[in-house]
Structure 1
Amino acid sequence: MSFFVAADAYDRFMGRYSTPLARPFADFSGVSAGQRVLDVGCGPGALTAELVGRVGPASVAAVDPSEPFVAALAERHPGVDVRQAPAEDLPFPDDGFDAALAQLVVHFMADPVSGLREMGRVTRNGGVVSACVWNHAGDDGPLSLFWNVVHELDGAVPDESMLAGSREGHLAELFAAAGLRDVEDGDVSVRVEHATFEEWWEPYTLGVGPAGAYVTSLDPDRREALADRCREALPAAPFELTARAWAARGRP
């Protein structure tokens, strides 16, 4: 799945969680100075910015299938080698990177095993392939409360809990299927404060991802009913939410 939306819309919706997640995910992946690193499914650059801070722009490459995201990242990080491409067909030679990372991407790959296998191909022997995916199948993902309320009002709506990697242990299974070795399971999480209900809700109306697509498909009355029920389900503002992601790492 590609996100053909404006970069700032993605930043306002998922960036509020993915940006702070980049640091613990890069720690989990062992990214450090002196490495050459690839950001797969880079989006507008939440993880890329963290990688640039650790290894420098000349040592970072990034790919994404979304043209708006690639353009935004190229503008934000002009020293990064950024290209438009899917994870399943990476435009890089074998063994070119010390680490290949995919933050919040595997569940949107057309073929997750193929994508992870490609990440292994472009990573040197002894390097690291790493990925994380929100815990959409549990109650502490960033969208969990939203989908729980949606199901109260409209139980037939498919959510994101069945996407690849969204349940505990599934990422490790995908890594093994892709032929990666020494696979380790884990998780990373962040806590994000929301000053008001409106600040939490408004990004859902921007049409980003499956949640945004659902909200924008509703007529005004149903959308207002959904917003009202979400307001009731959330703590009084300001409030903090935990956003947890499953993580896995392995070696080619």
Structure 2
Amino acid sequence: MDETTAVTGSWTDGDRYERYVGRWSRPVAQRFVAELGVPAGRRWLDVGCGTGVLTSTVLDHAAPASVLGVDRSPEFVAHAAAHVVDPRVAFRTADALVLPVEDAAVDVVVSGLVLNFLPGHPAAVAEWRRVVAPGGLVAAYVWDYAGGMELMRLFWAAATRVTLAAGSLDEGARFPVCAPGPLGGLFRGAGLTDVVTGSIDVPTVFADFDDYWTPFLGGTGHAPAYVATLGRDDRTALREALRADVPVRDDGSIALTARAWTVRGRVPG
């Protein structure tokens, strides 16, 4: 695997993504959808639907008329379609910056844990606004990579001690958009009104150190893709550095917290 792959990560295995971070995004998605307070019977679009976590949450908690989930990864779309089965939902492989949707065709666009990965943040939000009817909602959430997403902060702090080059791949430094100020400015810059930012904190409790460490060996996601580039000695050194750093409770479990930043705005009209 070359350095480019280590930076961008691999997004082809839905099961490995679930074990790495998907399982922790579910409680975030539930609170996110609840806080939006969208009335029943609306048309939703989930941009960057991944394995279907946010789509399934909308179906379960928002009583939508319909939900379309789109993602660039055919493998993730296939995983979502196999696990989220409902007559109101459809999934398509598509680019978040070129949505297969007519102007003003939906009432709500949501996007979970995707915005920071896109090559053009303003273009992305402008495209999302394009497909929302006047008065509709655009909303997103991203991990707080620089602080409150503790499972990743611990990882990159240890990785940088083991190999200095890891510092340039640290998501906390690479994704400055993942903070309330930049997110709010991005949405206001797209012409959205009533822009509100917030945070959601959820517990991430691992049964033991293996439950924490093993998902980093799966290759799906930025940190796991970085681990895949390491030789045996560096990988062992990273594992042991993490073992020394993580706060282990008397029963062997590891209790951390994951924070997501949220942002929403309304299409004028």
Quickly name the TM-score band, shorter chain normalised.
over 0.9
User: Structure 2 vs 1, CA of residues 56 and 28 (structure 1 numbering), >3 Å: closer, same or farther?
Assistant: closer
Percent identity, aligned pairs only?
Answer: 39
Q: CA deviation at 1:56?
A: 5.0
Q: What SS does the corresponding residue of 2:147 show, helix, strand or coil?
A: coil
Superposed, 1:10-89 pairs within 5 Å as 10-56=17-63, 59-78=66-85, 79=87, 80-89=89-98
Does residue 208 in structure 1 map to residue 235 in structure 2?
A: no
Of stretches 4-13 and 156-165 in structure 1, the one that deviates more from structure 2 is 156-165
Runs of 4+ more than 3 Å apart: 1-4, 55-58, 139-142
Does residue 107 in structure 1 map to residue 116 in structure 2?
A: yes
Task: Tell me the equivalent position of 1:234.
Answer: 246
CA distance in 2, matches of 1:115, 1:26: 21
Q: What SS does the corresponding residue of 1:208 show, helix, strand or coil?
A: coil
Contact 1:107–1:163 (Cα < 8 Å) also in 2: yes
2:184 aligned to which of 172, 178, 187? 172
Superposed, 1:49-198 pairs within 5 Å as 49-56=56-63, 59-78=66-85, 79=87, 80-157=89-166, 158=168, 159-161=170-172, 162-163=174-175, 165-198=177-210
2:261 aligned to which of 223, 227, 246? 246
Amino acid aligned to 1:97: V
Contact 1:18–1:46 (Cα < 8 Å) also in 2: yes
Q: What SS does the corresponding residue of 2:200 show, helix, strand or coil?
A: strand
CA distance in 2, matches of 1:131, 1:228: 36
Q: CA deviation at 1:155?
A: 2.7
Q: CA deviation at 1:148?
A: 1.2
Contact 2:203–2:257 (Cα < 8 Å) also in 1: yes
**RMSD between aligned residues:** 1.7
Aligned length: 252
Gaps of 5+ in 1: none
Q: What SS does the corresponding residue of 2:69 show, helix, strand or coil?
A: strand
Amino acid aligned to 1:49: S
Of stretches 54-63 and 223-232 in structure 1, the one that deviates more from structure 2 is 54-63
Gaps of 5+ in 2: 1-7
Task: Tell me the equivalent position of 2:5.
Answer: none
Q: What SS does the corresponding residue of 1:243 show, helix, strand or coil?
A: strand
CA distance in 2, matches of 1:94, 1:2: 32
User: Structure 2 vs 1, CA of residues 2 and 43 (structure 1 numbering), >3 Å: closer, same or farther?
Assistant: farther
TM-score using structure 2 length: 0.88
CA distance in 1, matches of 2:114, 2:9: 10
